[in-house]
């Protein structure tokens, strides 16, 4: 569980009617872009007979492509040596099996499946159970923790499986009917219905890249990784977490949009082991009513730019501090997360229009989507020896590394602690710390820190930065 804010309930990861027979607007995974489709006609039921219509045709189309995903790993239990001695143990503890149960959807007939990253995170054995109850071992083609998605593959021996088409045409509207399919609490395949409660939720979630679909369709632990489908039976999202006081559904569930699903699946089918997403290179804050008045805007909207990373896509497009980003590629942007999502779902190299408020007028800039730079090189090192950093793994901070680790790329040049292994460092350091100086010497790189750590001074004076606060330590 993860607390979003002090006043909010907890986020719970869920590991654990138009004509449904008509033409689908979705794209198959193997096809390229399709022309813009006409918007469907939306209407409320006209009479009691219309209210008795069934979702059964939609379920019959979608359910065969929904799977259960079970994963497990064997871990060693930690045992208190003192207690173990008096209980006659051997001091080695014992093994324990940890498991996870979730859902998924078949997106290609040869056995390619999409599910959540947190369903398989750290697991060694993954089993997929089809709707007909047959079971297959699965391998991971691509794992994308940043979006909380994973692509699995099972060997079907040439058999073609039922497939769920991915609908990423951005035609969802608040109030649209949706169904959630999955395996809640391990009871077996289950279908619930609801509506789209909200779109483009960027200020919630356990993943650091997302613009979620909110729904009131009942989803519970075990639904995680299962599809959210529209009335054509096409995948419009992957159910991933809920906000709840009890841990069970309270009508506030969230799904990863199909556009992100397609991006991850396409990367996996292209042979990639990670997803390269464009990076805007902007730090800003939502425009409040007071800010809007101070800069002459009629209403509060957009993101006020506080910093532009030198050499980033935004910098090359001509964005300046004090500008207000209103939209990217026609999508309204109201916080940093929304901007990151709007540019991040494009391909590297795309030219994307960005509407900006500058001075007393609006103008359009063109952003060329580029990946976050990997400068300086990561140079990952695990430090050893008789020094305060023994056991710490450190890297040089770059925008690419910051993006992967969910760290502020504007934190400045420096050396970032990423992991702590047994050693002296575990007594006082934490992942996310920056090492700023040692014995009066400014530390600008992992090589600088390794060089200083190899010396043998009579005393150590170390300055680190943690959560924006400088901490000085003496050894």
Question: Could you list the active site residues?
Answer: 118, 148, 224
Label residue 376 exposed, middle or buried (CB < 10 Å: 0-12, 13-18, 19+): middle
The answer to whether residues 354 and 325 touch, using CB atoms and an 8 Å cutoff, is yes
For 395: left if phi > 0, alpha if psi spans -120 to 50, otherwise beta; the answer is: beta
Using alpha carbons, select from 318, 57, 38, 288 the residue that is nearest to residue 169: 38
Map tokens 């991850």 to a residue.
Answer: 264
232: which 2 tokens?
Answer: 């054509």
Using alpha carbons, select from 146, 286, 276 the residue that is nearest to residue 209: 146
> In 53-199, which residue ranges form alpha helices assigned H by DSSP?
56-62, 81-86, 117-120
DSSP one-letter code for 126: E
| 3-state class (DSSP) for residue 115 | strand
321: which 2 tokens?
Answer: 């501090």
Please name the residues in contact with 205: beta carbons below 8 A apart, sequence gap of 6 or more: 11, 148, 212, 240, 241, 254
CA atoms within 13 A on the CB side of 134: 11
Q: How many other β-carbons are positioned within 10 Å of the β-carbon of residue 454?
A: 12
- Measuring CA to CA, how many Å separate 380 from each of 366, 432, 446? 35, 14, 7
Please name the residues in contact with 373: beta carbons below 8 A apart, sequence gap of 6 or more: 311, 312, 398, 399, 400
CA distance 160 to 77: 42
Give 143's strand partners: 150
CA distance 53 to 462: 70
440: which 2 tokens?
Answer: 């009066």
Q: How many other β-carbons are positioned within 10 Å of the β-carbon of residue 275?
A: 20
């Amino acid at each position: 569980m993860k607390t979003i804010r002090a006043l909010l309930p907890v986020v719970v990861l869920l590991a654990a009617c138009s004509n449904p027979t008509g033409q689908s607007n979705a794209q198959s995974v193997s096809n390229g872009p399709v022309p813009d489709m006409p918007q469907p006609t939306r209407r409320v039921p006209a009479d009691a007979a219309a209210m008795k219509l069934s979702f059964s045709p939609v379920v019959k189309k979608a359910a065969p492509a929904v799977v259960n995903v079970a994963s497990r790993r064997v871990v060693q239990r930690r045992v208190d040596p003192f207690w173990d001695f008096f209980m006659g143990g051997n001091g080695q503890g014992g093994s324990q099996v940890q498991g996870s149960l979730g859902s998924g959807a078949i997106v290609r007939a040869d056995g390619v499946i999409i599910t959540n990253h947190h369903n398989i995170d750290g697991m060694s054995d993954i089993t997929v159970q089809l709707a007909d109850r047959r079971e297959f071992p699965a391998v991971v083609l691509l794992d994308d923790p940043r979006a909380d998605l994973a692509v699995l593959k099972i060997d079907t021996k040439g058999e073609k499986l039922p497939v769920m088409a991915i609908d990423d045409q951005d035609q969802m509207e608040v109030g649209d009917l949706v169904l959630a399919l999955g395996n809640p609490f391990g009871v077996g395949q289950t279908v619930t219905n609801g509506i789209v409660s909200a779109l483009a939720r960027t200020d919630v979630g356990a993943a650091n890249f997302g613009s979620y679909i909110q729904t009131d369709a009942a989803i519970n632990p075990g639904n995680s990784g299962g599809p959210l489908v529209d009335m054509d039976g096409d995948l419009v999202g992957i159910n991933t977490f809920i906000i709840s006081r009890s841990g069970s559904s309270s009508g506030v569930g969230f799904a990863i949009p199909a556009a992100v699903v397609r991006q991850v699946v396409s990367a996996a089918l292209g042979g990639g082991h990670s997803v390269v997403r464009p990076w805007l290179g902007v730090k800003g804050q939502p425009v409040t009513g007071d800010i809007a008045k101070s800069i002459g805007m009629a209403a509060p909207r957009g993101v006020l730019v506080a910093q532009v990373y030198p050499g980033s896509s935004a910098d090359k497009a001509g964005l300046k501090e004090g500008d207000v980003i209103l939209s990217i590629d026609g999508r309204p942007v109201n916080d940093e997360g929304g901007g990151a999502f709007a540019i991040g779902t494009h391909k590297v190299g795309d030219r994307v229009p960005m509407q900006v408020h500058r001075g007393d007028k609006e103008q359009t800039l063109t952003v060329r989507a580029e990946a976050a730079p990997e400068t300086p090189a990561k140079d990952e090192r695990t430090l050893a020896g008789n020094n305060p950093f023994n056991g710490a793994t450190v890297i040089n901070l770059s925008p690419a590394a910051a993006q992967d680790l969910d760290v502020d790329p504007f934190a400045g040049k420096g050396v970032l602690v990423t992991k702590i292994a047994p050693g002296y460092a575990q007594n006082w350091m934490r992942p996310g710390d920056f090492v700023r100086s040692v014995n009066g010497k400014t530390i600008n790189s992992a090589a600088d820190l390794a060089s200083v750590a190899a010396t043998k001074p009579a005393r150590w004076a170390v300055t680190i930065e943690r959560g924006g606060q400088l901490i000085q330590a003496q050894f």
